[in-house]
């Protein structure tokens, strides 16, 4: 038991120390949500904590401050020659480095020698801000110069668009005279007051300052324009304490419509965030100039905000021009109802066009119309009952009248008279045809009378329904040759009757008789021939 107590006694200080360290680490740091300005003892799952704050490389006008955070965060230092309970009251501060890191290191420049400075470090991660307590450091006092040679002259070279000049500075980079340079084109003016510390990114004396026009400026923010030329100030990371005064000039024609001169500012391009950052600027509209104080080098330009275009006018429809044609119809006939739908808004949209007749929805049509355009919408309707009908199309009203159709009595037309054939012989038949049509609205009968040479030859009665037709045929023949005039209910035609020609009657040839006669003639001839021959021979003998 005594041995156990001995061990407990040995470990008690270590145990107490461990408990104390854990308490310190878990104790809430002063945490502020970005922008709210109030400190809260937060209970977060992982609080943003600042630790290992160190001051190193303290010289007469420079010092380096480093610290660590328990998660990747931004870096910034606030400092002054006196203590302040509110960080916002410190007279100086570095620009916030938005690179998210856990090991932070910032070099302060342009400090006064032999001076005690109070400072606090600040880091932000995920919109949570951590601020350290107040710390101090004292810059060195320069040793008194001893006897010996005069200190050498140092110069800072300024290269403004290829034109160079030199200006005297101290060994630690402090200007020994005012610097003011204006470019040849009078578009850029740089003023650096005497006593300004001009240092490179390592905190050493700046050897050269180069200003040149950017061939292609980075893209400005939305609704902003780069006015005139953008300028690249180098070397990158160079700082000026307390400031460098930059004045950029612009032309009136560079100011586009809607851009107000008093709203122009000088802005610098943050290479880390790839964004333009506006500087507090003074506009001299009379001389077309904008001035700002800058503390470091990067790309600078005048930018101005162009008011965004007004939002598009919402979709709005106007229905007009109600036309009802015809205004009077018979039962069953069609009526056309037309309106014009105009989109007077700023965007394309759809509109329901509703046709009501006597208060009852008859039809709905959905029509899509582009902004500023119109479209015709037509409805077709018909009614089976006579009366007056009230039309309403999206509030536009009109009317049309439907009448009972008057049914006309039966009416007949006889047409298409045809006489075939037009020439015949006595006693041959002639066909006489005609077409009978009922053009009325009721069924009825029609008597068609055939007259030849003014004398009624025959009649036929035809019964037809409305709009029906029927062909009728008469036949006749005449025993007397001549021309005959045909009349069928006023339609006329003719035909001709000719006498028949009787052909001569030929008796058949009696070929046997003819053959016998020929034979007798031949025989008699032969007999005579032989008789003559004998007589001549007898006479010859005598």
Cβ(469)–Cβ(487) under 8 Å? no
Q: Is residue 175 part of a domain?
A: yes
For the segment 330-356, the average pLDDT, to the nearest whole number, is 92
Residue with more model confidence, 279 or 158: 279
Please tell me whether residues 425 and 489 are part of one structural domain.
yes
Q: What are the distances in angstroms from CA 135 to CA 51, 120, 451, 542?
A: 13, 6, 141, 207
- Within 27-80, where are the H helices? none
**Per-residue pLDDT for 161 more than 80?**
no
Which pLDDT does position 483 carry in this prediction? 94
Q: Is residue 7 part of a domain?
A: no
Which pLDDT does position 528 carry in this prediction? 77
Domain of 37, CATH number, reads 2.60.40.10
DSSP state of 215: S
Residue with more model confidence, 52 or 110: 52
Report which secondary-structure segment, H or E, holds 300.
strand 299-305
The whole-angstrom separation of Cα 352 and Cα 364 is 7
Please tell me whether residues 197 and 283 are part of one structural domain.
yes
The four Cα atoms 71, 72, 75, 77 give a dihedral, to 10 degrees, of 0
386: domain range?
A: 317-403
Please tell me whether residues 328 and 271 are part of one structural domain.
no
Which pLDDT does position 46 carry in this prediction? 66
Among 305, 334, 356, the domain boundary falls at 305
Please tell me whether residues 55 and 194 are part of one structural domain.
no
pLDDT-derived band at 404, boundaries 50, 70, 90: confident
Report which secondary-structure segment, H or E, holds 277.
strand 275-278
pLDDT-derived band at 147, boundaries 50, 70, 90: low
For the segment 443-459, the average pLDDT, to the nearest whole number, is 94
For the question of whether the overall pTM of this predicted structure is more than 0.85, the answer is no
pLDDT-derived band at 153, boundaries 50, 70, 90: low
Q: How many CA atoms lie within 13 A of 452 on its CB side?
A: 19
Which pLDDT does position 201 carry in this prediction? 84
Please tell me whether residues 430 and 299 are part of one structural domain.
no
For the segment 125-129, the average pLDDT, to the nearest whole number, is 92
The residue behind tokens 């400190």 is: 39
Please tell me whether residues 382 and 422 are part of one structural domain.
no
pLDDT in tens, 267-292: 999 888 888 998 889 999 889 999 99
Please tell me whether residues 165 and 291 are part of one structural domain.
yes
Tokens of 435: 């077409």
Among 354, 385, 403, the domain boundary falls at 403
The whole-angstrom separation of Cα 326 and Cα 339 is 15
Q: Is residue 115 part of a domain?
A: yes
Length of the chain: 542
Please tell me whether residues 272 and 377 are part of one structural domain.
no
Q: Is residue 19 part of a domain?
A: no
Least trusted range by pLDDT, from 103-117, 231-245, 318-332, 393-407: 231-245
Please tell me whether residues 345 and 295 are part of one structural domain.
no
If you write DSSP's letter for every residue of 81-114 in order, what string do you get?
SS--SSGGG-SEEPPPEEEEEEEEEEEE-SPPTT
Q: Which has the closest alpha carbon to 287: 261, 263, 306, 256?
A: 261
Taking only Cα atoms into account, the Rg of the chain, rounded to an integer number of angstroms, comes to 63
pLDDT-derived band at 11, boundaries 50, 70, 90: very low
**Per-residue pLDDT for 359 more than 90?**
yes
pLDDT in tens, 462-515: 999 998 999 999 999 999 999 999 999 999 999 999 998 766 665 677 778 888
Which pLDDT does position 425 carry in this prediction? 92
Q: Is residue 519 part of a domain?
A: no
The whole-angstrom separation of Cα 501 and Cα 512 is 33
Q: Is residue 513 part of a domain?
A: no
**Per-residue pLDDT for 165 more than 90?**
no
User: 509-522 as b/e, with b when 16 or more CB fall inside 10 Å?
Assistant: eeeeeeeeeeeeee
Which pLDDT does position 256 carry in this prediction? 79
**Per-residue pLDDT for 33 more than 60?**
no
Cβ(190)–Cβ(179) under 8 Å? yes
Which pLDDT does position 1 carry in this prediction? 31
Please tell me whether residues 207 and 350 are part of one structural domain.
no
Q: Is residue 332 part of a domain?
A: yes
Which pLDDT does position 26 carry in this prediction? 41
Least trusted range by pLDDT, from 35-49, 130-144, 443-457: 35-49
Phi, psi (degrees; rounded to nearest 5) at 429: -85, 140
The residue behind tokens 């009317």 is: 399
Q: Which is it for strands 299-305 and 224-234: parallel, antiparallel or unpaired?
A: antiparallel
Please tell me whether residues 389 and 416 are part of one structural domain.
no
Q: How far apart are the first and last CA of the chain?
A: 223
Residue with more model confidence, 321 or 38: 321
Which pLDDT does position 96 carry in this prediction? 93
pLDDT-derived band at 37, boundaries 50, 70, 90: very low
Please tell me whether residues 193 and 273 are part of one structural domain.
yes
The residue behind tokens 């905000």 is: 305
pLDDT in tens, 345-354: 888 999 999 9
For the segment 159-185, the average pLDDT, to the nearest whole number, is 83
Among 459, 479, 498, the domain boundary falls at 498
Residue with more model confidence, 184 or 407: 184
**Per-residue pLDDT for 178 more than 90?**
no
Which pLDDT does position 540 carry in this prediction? 66
Q: How many domains does the chain have?
A: 4
pLDDT-derived band at 424, boundaries 50, 70, 90: very high
**Per-residue pLDDT for 5 more than 50?**
no
Cβ(434)–Cβ(423) under 8 Å? no
Which pLDDT does position 502 carry in this prediction? 67
Q: Is residue 533 part of a domain?
A: no
Q: What are the distances in angstroms from CA 218 to CA 144, 256, 263, 277, 299?
A: 49, 19, 20, 12, 9
pLDDT in tens, 237-253: 888 888 889 999 988 88
**Per-residue pLDDT for 394 more than 90?**
yes
């Amino acid at each position: 038991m005594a041995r156990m107590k001995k061990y407990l006694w040995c470990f008690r200080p270590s145990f107490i120390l461990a408990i104390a360290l854990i308490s310190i680490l878990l104790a809430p740091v002063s945490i502020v949500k970005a922008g709210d300005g109030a400190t809260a003892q937060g209970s977060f799952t992982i609080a943003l904590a600042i630790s290992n704050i160190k001051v190193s490389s303290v010289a007469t006008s420079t010092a380096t401050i480093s610290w660590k955070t328990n998660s990747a965060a931004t870096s910034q230092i606030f400092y002054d020659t006196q203590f302040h309970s509110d960080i916002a009251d410190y007279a100086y501060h570095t620009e916030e480095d938005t690179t998210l890191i856990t090991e932070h290191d910032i070099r302060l420049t342009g400090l006064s020698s032999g001076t005690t400075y109070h400072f606090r470090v600040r880091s932000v991660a995920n919109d949570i801000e951590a601020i350290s307590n107040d710390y101090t450091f004292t810059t060195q006092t320069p040793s008194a110069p001893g006897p010996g040679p005069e200190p050498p002259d140092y110069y800072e070279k300024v290269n403004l668009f290829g034109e160079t000049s030199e200006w005297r500075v101290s060994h630690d980079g402090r200007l020994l005279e005012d610097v003011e340079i204006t470019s040849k084109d009078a578009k850029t003016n740089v003023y650096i007051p005497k006593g300004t510390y001009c240092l490179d990114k390592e905190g050493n004396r700046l050897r050269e300052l180069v200003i040149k026009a950017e061939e292609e400026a980075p893209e400005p923010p939305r609704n902003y324009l780069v006015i005139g030329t953008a300028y690249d100030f180098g070397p990158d990371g160079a700082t000026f304490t307390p400031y460098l005064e930059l004045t950029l000039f612009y032309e009136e024609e560079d100011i586009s419509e809607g851009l107000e001169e008093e709203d122009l500012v000088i802005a610098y391009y943050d290479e880390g965030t790839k964004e333009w950052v506006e500087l507090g600027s003074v506009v001299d509209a009379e001389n077309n100039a904008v001035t700002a104080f800058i503390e470091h080098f990067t790309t600078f330009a005048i930018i101005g905000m162009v008011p965004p275009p007004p939002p598009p006018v919402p979709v709005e429809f106007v229905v007009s021009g109600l036309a009802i044609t015809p205004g009077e119809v018979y039962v069953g006939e069609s009526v056309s109802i037309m309106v014009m739908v105009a989109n007077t808004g700023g965007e394309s949209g759809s509109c329901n066009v509703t046709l009501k007749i006597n208060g009852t929805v008859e039809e709905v049509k959905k029509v899509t119309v582009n902004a500023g355009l119109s479209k015709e919408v037509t409805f077709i309707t018909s009614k089976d009952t006579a009366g007056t009908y009230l039309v309403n199309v999206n509030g536009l009203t009109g009317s049309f009248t439907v009448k009972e159709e008057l049914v006309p009595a039966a009416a007949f037309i006889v047409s298409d008279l045809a006489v075939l054939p037009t020439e015949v012989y006595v006693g041959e038949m002639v066909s006489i045809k005609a077409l009978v049509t009922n053009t009325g609205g009721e069924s009825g009968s029609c008597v068609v009378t055939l007259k030849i040479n003014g004398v009624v030859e025959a009649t036929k009665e035809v019964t037809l329904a409305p709009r029906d037709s029927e062909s009728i045929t008469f036949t006749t023949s005449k025993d007397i040759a001549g021309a005959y005039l045909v009349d069928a209910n006023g339609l006329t035609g003719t035909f001709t009757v000719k006498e028949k020609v009787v052909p001569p009657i030929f008796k058949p040839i009696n070929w046997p008789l003819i053959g016998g006669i020929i034979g007798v003639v031949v025989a008699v001839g032969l007999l005579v021939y032989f008789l003559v021959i004998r007589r001549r021979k007898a006479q010859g003998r005598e």
